[in-house]
Amino acid sequence: MAEQVLFKAHFVDYLIIFIYFVFVLGIGFLLKRYTTTGKDFFLSGRSMPGWVAGLAFLGANLGALELLGMAANSYQHGIQTVHFYWIGAIPAMLFLAIFMMPFYYGSRVRSVPEYLSLRFNEATRGLNAVSFAIMTVLMSGISLYSMAIIFQLLLGWNLHMSIILSAAVVLVYVVLGGLTSSIFNEVIQFFLIWLGLLPLPILGLRAVGGWDGVVNGINNSTLPHVQKWASGFLHAWGPLATTNNSMDITWLGTALGLGFVLSFGYWCTDFLVIQRAFSANSLASSQRAPIYASFFKMAIPLLVVTPGLLAIVLLPPLSPEANQVNSYNMALPLLMQKFYPPGLIGLGITALLAGFMSGMAGNVTAFTTVWTYDIYQAYINKKASDKHYVWMGRAATIGGVIISIFTAYIVMGFATIMDYMQLIFSFVNAPLFATFLLGMFWKRATPWGGFWGLVAGIGAAILMYVGSSMGLGVEGDILHKLGILSIDFKAMGANFWRAWWAWCACFGVTILVSFITQKRTDEELSGLCWGFGAKTVKEKVAWHNNPVILAIIASIILIILNIIFF
């Protein structure tokens, strides 16, 4: 497939990539000797300082979604893509740090489903564990597919061979070092991504004459999807006054579906990222982890949203077909091809590969922990030794990677990675946040209320997706106007509204069932519900390390950014 090779790589580029892979695998081999217990393998010994946990917290999320997916989303929707970073992330990250981490960390649970077993019951835990395990392997397929594309474009390799090679590299270092290996690599990958991608917006903006050149280029673009929405590509909130925008949604749908349900559902309940905060060496450190990450999260649009806008101005028209070499998902690599000289190409490709490996490893380690503790230990083998569970964790890693190989092919059927990502979140994370919100902040929520609410939420999301895919949402009917069904069941707006209604279904059913079923006693809720105290010791920290003050500073910056790009 030599005709698909985009990068004319030189010896120095291959050398940079080779050194990176040797270094990554070396970390896995080095840490194997220190990974002997379940606490080491699954929680990194709860020994990480706040800044390391914070960079890993963000690094686990800084995968294919952030890089290829968000650049593609920017090419497709313009500056509105920043909502996925700002309103779609920062409030939830701060809420997690201030209000939820004391319960997570204080209860000393090893996973999010384990918290559900303490607050609700084993049935709720089992349902979440199974749905989350399925979600993680579906998500890891995104990173695997994206890595394979880069190998294909760099070396002209067959896509199938590239997928297998990518899976093998991640498998080795996660099996050897567990979460510790993943965290160390995520921190390294974080810096690599900034080094490898920051030159791209700088060179691109220089080529078009600065920000004014981007504005003029978009306003005068001949691309049909850009012409249709005109200046909507250059503002975050203005185009959302009506549904006449590229995402087919208003500010209300964005605020409810993305800013509230999908955002809080991901950052506050997804064990993939929370596992990194669990590794912190104290409660204050675990709280600072998502806050530190929030500052960098607000800056990430410079690396991915800006290149998406530059691609509109500088590249030939791209195709919405996901499996084509000139698809939306290729906006970032195609710009790298245009601007990067030898050496910088190697660094840029290494940055992409680092992001993909970070995303995949994060999903695999989360899958491994949930499978081992919340499925295998909880329901299959309850009395095995710690050594046996470490062995099972390594075996689950192998199984998770193999399944990810198959899920990588599912991604090819979606116009952008973001469509696929938000669809999955609307099924799993959206209703789950309702369960956690009621569980942590309403003592009357009962064990069976939590279970049946979660069933209702997941079921509602599936039914709406199936109904939309069958064309039941006809333009002009009441269901379409309410956002319950959508003409295009893959559209981003449909994902937002589906998440909102799934959350409502879970929230409502949990309350109804809780009023007719037995609640837990106050003693059983100790350390698990608001008003009953978290099982932690208050720590004295300097003002600049105080999580509340740091969260206030992050909130002020967020407000300023939204005003600037309104």
How big, in percent rounded to 5, are the helix, strand and coil portions of the chain?
Answer: 75, 0, 25
Cα(488)–Cα(91) distance, rounded to whole angstroms?
29
Cα(93)–Cα(75) distance, rounded to whole angstroms?
26
- Looking at residue 58, its amino acid is L
Burial group, residue 193, by CB count within 10 angstroms (0-12, 13-18, 19+): buried
The three-point CA angle 553-559-565 to 5° equals 135
Q: Taking the C-alpha atoms of 538, 436, 418 and 189 in order, what is their torsion angle to the nearest 10 degrees? A: 30
The whole-model pTM stands at 0.81
Q: Helix (H, G, I), strand (E, B), or coil: what is residue 299?
A: helix
The structure tokens 């990675």 sit at 417
Cα(332)–Cα(204) distance, rounded to whole angstroms?
11
The CA-to-CA distance between both ends of the chain, in Å, stands at 44
Query: Would you state the pLDDT for residue 538?
Result: 61
Structure tokens at 458: 């997941």
Cα(108)–Cα(280) distance, rounded to whole angstroms?
12
The structure tokens 């008003």 sit at 531
Query: Would you state the pLDDT for residue 24?
Result: 76
pLDDT per residue of the chain (566 residues) written in tens, 0 to 9: 344 566 677 888 888 888 888 887 777 677 666 666 666 556 555 667 767 777 877 877 776 667 777 888 888 888 888 988 999 899 999 999 998 888 787 777 777 888 888 889 999 999 988 888 888 888 887 777 777 777 776 667 777 777 787 788 777 767 766 666 667 777 788 888 888 889 999 999 999 999 999 989 888 888 877 777 766 788 888 777 776 777 777 788 788 878 888 888 888 887 777 877 777 778 888 888 899 999 999 999 999 899 999 999 998 888 776 556 677 878 888 898 889 888 888 888 888 877 777 777 777 878 888 888 889 988 899 888 888 888 888 888 888 888 888 888 777 666 556 666 767 777 888 888 899 889 888 989 999 999 999 999 999 988 887 776 665 543 334 444 444 444 344 456 677 778 888 999 999 999 999 999 998 888 888 878 887 765 555 667 777 788 999 999 999 999 999 999 88
User: Does the domain spanning 2-220+272-420+535-564 belong to CATH 1.20.1730.10?
Assistant: yes
Residues 6+ apart with CB under 8 A from 209: none
Residues 6+ apart with CB under 8 A from 253: 483, 493, 496, 497, 500
Cα(76)–Cα(415) distance, rounded to whole angstroms?
10
Cα(70)–Cα(64) distance, rounded to whole angstroms?
9
Q: How far is CA 90 from CA 40, 84, 295, 406, 553, in A?
A: 30, 9, 9, 33, 12
Spatial CA neighbour of 113 closest among 274, 286, 285, 262: 274
CB atoms within 10 A of CB 548: 12
- Looking at residue 438, its amino acid is L
Q: How far is CA 397 from CA 10, 85, 126, 406, in A?
A: 34, 30, 20, 15
Per-residue H/E/C for 105-130: HHCCCCCHHHHHHHHCCHHHHHHHHH
Structure tokens at 326: 């000139």
Query: Would you state the pLDDT for residue 484?
Result: 43
CA atoms within a 13 Å half-sphere pointing along the CA-CB vector of 338: 18
Query: Would you state the pLDDT for residue 463?
Result: 86
Q: What DSSP element (H or E) covers 450?
A: helix 447-469
**Within 198-330, where are the H helices?**
199-208, 211-219, 224-229, 251-253, 263-269, 271-278, 283-299, 301-314
Spatial CA neighbour of 337 closest among 17, 9, 19: 9
Length of the chain as a residue count: 566
Query: Would you state the pLDDT for residue 449?
Result: 95
Cα(264)–Cα(185) distance, rounded to whole angstroms?
26
Structure tokens at 99: 């209000």
CA-based torsion, 249, 416, 406, 468: positive or negative: positive
Q: Helix (H, G, I), strand (E, B), or coil: what is residue 280?
A: strand
- Looking at residue 103, its amino acid is F
Q: Helix (H, G, I), strand (E, B), or coil: what is residue 47?
A: coil
